Structure 1
Amino acid sequence: MDDVAELCSRLIRVDTTNHGGGQSAGERDAAELVADTLAAAGIGSKLLERTPRRSNVVARITGHDPTLPALIVQGHLDVVPADPAQWTRHPFSGDITDDGYVWGRGATDMKDFVAMVLTVVATWAHEHRAPRRDIVLAFVADEEDTGAHGAEWLVDEHPHLFDGCGATISESGGYSYHVTHADGTPRRLYPIGTAERGTAHLRLTATGRAGHGSRRNDDNAVTKLITALDRIAHHPWPIRLTPAVTAYLQRTGAALGIPIDLSDVDTTLTRLGKAAPLVENTVRNSTRPTILKAGYKVNVIPSTATAEIDTRTLPGTEQELLTTIDTLLGEDITREFVNRNPAIQAPIDSPWFDAMTTAIRSQDPDAIVVPYCMGGGTDAKAFARLGIPGYGFAPLSLPEGFDYRAMAHGVDERVPVEGLHFGTRVLDHFLSSV
């Protein structure tokens, strides 16, 4: 069995770029590598495809106690595009450097997690161990687009594979985050994802009267659209404190000796200092214009103009947001959903969360483990449709100054080798005993 870093490197060297819109390098080669690794550990798996080469790998490991709800461990095999010209090292080199990093697209999103889970499973086989409960492994395609070839399709067409499952774990949580106590001493925060903002991506279409660009036109679709976008982009969305955000603020504040005032969240965020970025994007909904399309010739006023808005909603707030947007649009502008997934939240005070906390503290006794709400989204939303709560728990130990949150989808993505070893030990503890 390869060391976890070498396995992560091998996975990165397989180009699984997902360009969106159904355009992809395909996950098949990475899926076969995963399936072969599982087979070497004596675990059979299924390769499932909605379309050729868009592969998903699903396997079930039998635990000691079949009466317990199974746990889904799910990770995606696809990655977002990377331009080699912008990188220090080739994004699909999988280089393991002398300073202790594995480089490449997917190093933190999320071939690192796949490698750690596979290493745990191989260790169990080598040591003749088994988990306490059944573990369902799902390594899927298409998370970086719509999930239509991956988790969404599996949930729709093969839901029986997840019968009896009580929770899922996946990306975006359990990593060390360096913060400072009120007394100035350094502390390590480990956020576990217990909620995700919903996605309500919108397409706006403005209509007007076409005409010559040199003539007055008070029915200009472009002007209508950009005026509406300005109102939406600068609308002061109100603070809405959800259970995960409230728990993060209270527990982090208590652990760091920082006063928390839930009636004045903006001041509280200032007090939190380094701990604020983990929560500042999830105290409100957000509407950020990202795409504009209009016209075909500079001297022609078009009859239509469109824009797309990355809209994120906190649990229980979508209708409030949409009602407000409708008042901001103005005349002759319609909206439609480009992509829509509701916000999700999992129980914080649960045996699952407690077991994750214990697993992290088995490797870092001084860890401050707190729940948090993810600003974006993951495939946990698909499994939530089966009534299965999802947690962001892909543990890593990270050096101070390492900008982990800039790695995913960023340039020069890489993961520390020691962080992989730490995460593998934490996952072994958690998956063996939960």
Structure 2
Amino acid sequence: MSSGRVEEAAVANFREYLRIPSVQPDVNYGDCVAFLKKQAVSLGLPLKVYSVVSGKPVVVLTWEGSEPNLPSVLLNSHMDVVPVFPDKWTHDPFSAYKDKNGNIFARGAQDMKCVGIQYLEAVRQLMSKGVQLRRTVHISFVPDEEIGGKDGMAKFINTSDFLGLNVGFALDEGMAEPSDQFPLFYGERSIWHMLVHCPGTTGHGSALLPDTAGEKVRIIIDHFMDFREQEKKKLDSDPSLTLGDVTTVNLTQLKGGVQSNVVPPELVLVFDVRLPVTVDHAEFEDMVNRWCSEAGPGTYVEFEQKEPKVQVTKLDSFNPWWLAFKSACDDMKLELKPAIFPGGTDSRYVRGVGLPALGFSPMNKTPVLGHDHDEFLNEDVFLKGIDIYCQIIQAIGNVASPKK
């Protein structure tokens, strides 16, 4: 293990970044910006801070290529992390404690401050070797990904500032993987957060009133949970499928009621639904509306979030970015595991404007602990990831311009 030697400067940078408590829901990004400005100075790279939404900066470091007019490469990561329950952690979640095995414990160790630093350190290594890439590389650090990215990448990508970056291809986050393989995500499911309103007859809790909200709730829950069970069986029965290939349904909230002896005038069910790329959105919505009709008069769906279907990034011989990425991985003998990402990342916004994007975090032989207690990343895995990115960034940064 590397704990016996003088700590790598890259690991020290990683731990310093992890100690910044950029935790949702009320993030002060000032310390992250100050840290990144210091990194830009050490790299000798220009840095710009874009303010699409006040208090939610987008930070971009730029390494100009020898042919800067070519579409550029975007290496994206997010600065924010999810909340913690400190009493559930073995170590302070913002101390970046490193144990004798080199495991670094901190919120964001896997999701995804590791990747942001690995980008910077890979570029540092390439520059120190005198490497000059054909294409310009932009390293972006965005806010609010952990709460949907609405004031982060979702808005930034529709600005003239983003257009000015001339992005042709983007890399973003993936996931840890306990096996020897490296997950590679070329698409994402669409997130639908649905509020099903079940109105009904109100009155005294001692009566047997007709058409109550509770009766409608039972019908709606039965439909959603029966569908959920079908998808679960589909996933369990086919080893070739991953979570990103099925529709997940989870009842996350039940709202309503005033007191225990009053039949409420309305109950509201909240469902988190993730639709895979194979599902027809209109057909799924029609099915839910039929369930509401069966539940009874007045039952309807309100969408808190309803993402459109976004095309996947094709992994074929017509995609030069994929060919370059895969060639670099093949040279390093990395076994890639292509899949649809089960959650949501900022890649969906990049793909949504027609740009190819891949999700990749080089964290194999690592338990999946993003959003979990005692999230950690081993420093040797972290350092190996920098070497991996060195090869990948060189490959994609030198993709030739298409022949006319």
Q: Is structure 2 residue 250 aligned with structure 1 residue 283?
A: no
**Amino acid corresponding to residue 150 of structure 2 in structure 1:** A
Q: What are structure 1's unaligned runs of at least 5 residues?
A: 179-187, 240-263, 270-275
1:63-118 Cα offsets, whole Å, 9 max, x none, are 12335321111100000000100111111111122111111100000000011011
Q: Which runs of 4+ in 1 moved over 6 A?
A: none
SS in structure 1 of the partner of residue 385 of structure 2? helix
Query: Which residues of structure 2 form unaligned runs of 5+?
Result: 1-6, 397-404
- Contact 2:325–2:395 (CA under 8 A) maintained in structure 1: no
What is the match of residue 30 of structure 1? 32
Q: Is the 1:204–1:308 contact (alpha carbons within 8 Å) kept by the matching residues of 2?
A: yes
Tell me how far apart the structure 2 counterparts of residues 150 and 230 of structure 1 sit (CA, whole Å): 37
Q: For the residues of structure 1 that align with 2:386 and 2:163, how far apart are their CA atoms?
A: 25
Deviations 1:259-288 (A, max 9, x none): xxxxx986441xxxxxx6xx4323322221
Partner residue of 1:415? 377
Q: Distance in 1 between matches of 2:106 and 2:54?
A: 25
Residue from 354, 357, 361 that aligns with 2:323: 354
SS across alignment from 2:327: helix
Shift of 1:368: 2.3
Give the 3-state SS of the residue equivalent to 2:227 in structure 1: coil
- 1:51 to partner: Cα distance: 4.3
Distance 1:265 1:309 in 2: 20
Structure 1 residue 328, shift from structure 2 partner: 1.7
Partner of 2:174: 172
SS of alignment partner, residue 225 of structure 1: helix
* Residues 99-118 of structure 1: pairs in structure 2 closer than 5 A: 99-118=101-120
Corresponding position of 1:150: 152
In structure 2, the partner of 1:183 is none
Structure 2 match to 1:390: 357
Query: Structure 2 matches for 1:212-361, cutoff 5 A?
Result: 212-235=204-227, 267-269=237-239, 279-315=241-277, 316-329=279-292, 330-331=295-296, 332-344=298-310, 345-349=312-316, 350-361=319-330
Correspondence 1:11 to 2:17: yes
- SS state at 1:18 partner: coil
Q: Give the number of aligned pairs.
A: 381
Q: Give secondary structure in 1 for the equivalent of 2:186.
A: strand
- Shift of residue 31, structure 1, vs aligned partner: 2.3
Q: Equivalents in 1 of 2:41, 2:258: separation in Å?
A: 55
The one-character-per-residue Cα deviations of 1:150-206 (angstroms, maximum 9, x if unpaired) are 101211334544553222111115x5552xxxxxxxxx3222101111111111111
RMSD of aligned residue pairs (Cα, Å): 2.3
Counterpart of 2:196 (choices 195, 199, 204) is 204
CA shift digits 1:198-226 (9 cap, x unpaired): 11111111111221112222222133123
Q: Is the 8 A contact 2:182 2:363 kept in 1?
A: no
Moved more, 26-35 or 157-166: 157-166
**Where do residues 395-410 of structure 1 align in structure 2 (5 Å cutoff)?**
395-398=362-365, 402-404=366-368, 407-410=369-372
Provide the C-alpha distance between the structure 1 equivalents of 2:327 and 2:178, rounded to a whole number of angstroms.
Answer: 17
Alpha-carbon spacing, 1:238–1:103, altered in 2? closer, same or farther (3 Å): same
Please, which moves more after superposition, 151-160 or 80-89? 151-160
Whether the aligned pair in 2 keeps the contact of 1:237 and 1:284 (CA below 8 Å) is no
Identify the residue that residue 120 of structure 1 maps to in structure 2. 122
The secondary structure found in structure 2 opposite 1:235 is helix
TM-score normalised by the chain length of structure 1: 0.82
The residue type equivalent to 1:339 in the other structure is Q
Other-structure match for 1:246: none
Please name the residue that 2:83 is paired with: 81
Q: CA deviation at 1:33?
A: 0.7
Question: What's the CA shift string for 1:398-419, capped at 9, x where partnerless?
Answer: 2xxx422xx1111100011111
Q: Tell me, in whole angstroms, the C-alpha distance in 2 between the residues paired with 1:113 and 1:162.
A: 24
Does residue 429 of the first structure (1) align with residue 395 of the second (2)? Answer: no
Corresponding letter in the other structure for 2:375: E
Task: Determine the C-alpha separation between the residues in 2 that align with 1:144 and 1:236.
Answer: 25
Counterpart AA for 1:143:
E
SS at match of 1:93: coil
Give the Cα–Cα distance (whole angstroms) in 2 for the partners of residues 77 and 427 of structure 1: 19
Local SS of the residue matching 2:182 = strand
Task: State whether residues 248 and 274 of structure 2, in contact with CA within 8 Å, keep that contact through their aligned partners in structure 1.
Answer: yes
CA distance in 2, matches of 1:18, 1:303: 34
Q: In the alignment, does 2:99 pair up with 1:71?
A: no
User: What is the one-letter code of the residue matched to 2:329?
Assistant: I
Q: TM-score, normalised by structure 2?
A: 0.88
Which amino acid in structure 2 is aligned with residue 204 of structure 1?
Answer: V
